[in-house]
Each structure stands twice: as C-alpha cells, then as structure tokens.
A = this chain, B = another copy of it.
Amino acid sequence: MTTQKDNAPKDAVRDKRMAIIDAALAVISETGILNATVEDIARRAGVAKGTVYLYFKTKEEILVEMVVEKSGETLAAVHKAASGVSGIWEKLRAAMRIHFANIIEHMPNVLIDEGMLHLTAAHKKKLLNAKFAHVKFYEEIIAEHFAKSGREPPFSPLASALALIGGLIGYVFQRHHFKDAAVGPDEYLRTYEAIVQAALIGGETKSEKSKRK
C-alpha cells in the first residue's frame, strides 16, 4: 500500500515533467522546431531554464520524450476508442478519428522527423519504436479483417497500415492549403475515411447498412 506521502513527490515530478513537455509542444507549435529555444520552453512551463535540465538531460531528450509521451497518449486513446465499438470497420473508423484529432492537436509530434534532427542511436530507436506502435495497431486490425473475409488479401496489412497512417499525417503538411480552399480538416477526414473504407473494406458493411434504415 502506498501512502499519499509516498506518491506526492512522484506526482510532483511527473507533473513538472509533463508541464515542460506540454510547454515544448506549445512553443514548437508556435515558433517551429528551428526557433524553439530551451529558454522559451522553460518560460512557457513557468520554470527557470536550469530547472528544465533537472528533468531532461538535453534539449534533444525533451523532443524525444515529448514524442514518446504524446504518441503513447494517442495510442492509448486510439485503443480505447477502438475497443468501444464492435466490427472491423467501426474499429478502424473510431481509431482514425481519434488518431486524426490527436495528430492535429500534437502537430509537432508529426513534424519531428528522425532525419531532421541529429539524434543519438538510442533516442532514434526510442522515437521509432513509439511511432511504430501505431503502425502495428492498424496492421493487426487490417490483418484480422483480411483473415475474416474469405478473399485473398489484396495487399499486405503492414503496407496498408503504413499507407493509412501516411494519409492521416499527410494532412499536417498540407494544412495551410485548407485556409484558402474551402476544405477543413473534417472534410479531409471524411474523404479519407471513405477512401480507406472503399479500398480496404470494399463497400458498406452490414452495420452501416442497418444504420441507414
């Protein structure tokens, strides 16, 4: 049994860690990775510059931990959303919706590319593992779907999962076009859902049909 006294300091540490990570996300969103300074992040988090280094060894570590943390949150949310519904397509759609919302909210996560930074091998691995967990999630669902349908899988579940995520994060790099065009993220998502459905599922599912009645 852990007393409150035991947890309090641990929670305080986690809180401040998360505050710094959130600050980093916010600062990067506003100024871009190239211009985000540790001082900015500290100020945003409401701590001194030196304090940041009590929680993260380097600026690089802040970025990596930010991606890992937020990717984890996203994956958890996606999992939860998918397990709340039944049916392959319903699961996929629920996952995609939450996933897309998270991608938009944590945009810098997507923009931080392993090749842009000069990460240590360990950090690079950590980053890729965090991202790959998302791929595996979709891969499993798609594989299950292909298995259930009697027909020959039209393409590999892994490639499908990668393409699916690719389409979701591709939005981020085109987001500025949406201001001019009369196409918002909602329409993008709806379109993309339809594309995926048509490609992977092939027409309406039974539950979709019954809903329409």
Residues on A facing B (Cβ under 8 Å):
29, 31-35, 107, 110-111, 113-118, 124, 128, 131-132, 135, 154-156, 158-160, 162-163, 165-178, 180-183, 187-188, 190-192, 194-200, 202
Structural contact, A166 and B162, CB atoms closer than 8 A: no
**CB within 8 Å for A154 and B115 given contacts A167-B166, A174-B131, A177-B132:** no
Structural contact, B154 and A194, CB atoms closer than 8 A: yes
Measured CA separation A29–B113 after assembly (Å): 12
Q: Determine the chain B residues whose CB is within 8 A of the CB of A200 once the complex forms.
A: 195
Q: In the complex, which of the residues B128, B165, B199 contacts A176, with contact meaning CB atoms closer than 8 Å? A: B128
Least CB separation from A179: chain B residue? B128
**CB within 8 Å for A171 and B162 given contacts A111-B115, A117-B32, A191-B156:** yes
Q: Interface of chain A, helix or strand or loop or mixed?
A: helix
**CB within 8 Å for A173 and B113 given contacts A183-B159, A183-B162, A199-B198:** yes
Q: Determine the chain B residues whose CB is within 8 A of the CB of A33 once the complex forms.
A: 34, 116
A209–chain B nearest beta-carbon distance, Å: 16
Structural contact, B166 and A135, CB atoms closer than 8 A: no
CB pairs A–B below 8 angstroms (19 shown):
A32-B115, A33-B34, A110-B173, A111-B113, A128-B176, A128-B180, A155-B190, A155-B194, A158-B183, A159-B187, A162-B171, A162-B181, A166-B169, A166-B188, A169-B170, A169-B173, A170-B170, A197-B199, A198-B198
Measured CA separation A32–B191 after assembly (Å): 33
Q: Determine the chain B residues whose CB is within 8 A of the CB of A195 once the complex forms.
A: 155, 160, 163, 195-196, 199-200
Q: In the complex, which of the residues B34, B155, B169, B182 contacts A116, with contact meaning CB atoms closer than 8 Å? A: B34
Measured CA separation A65–B188 after assembly (Å): 29
Residue among A115, A178, A180 with most chain B CB within 10 A: A115
Further 17 A-B residue pairs, CB within 8 A, beyond A113-B173, A124-B176: A29-B115, A32-B116, A34-B116, A111-B113, A113-B172, A131-B177, A132-B180, A156-B187, A158-B182, A160-B195, A162-B170, A163-B195, A166-B173, A166-B174, A167-B170, A170-B170, A195-B199
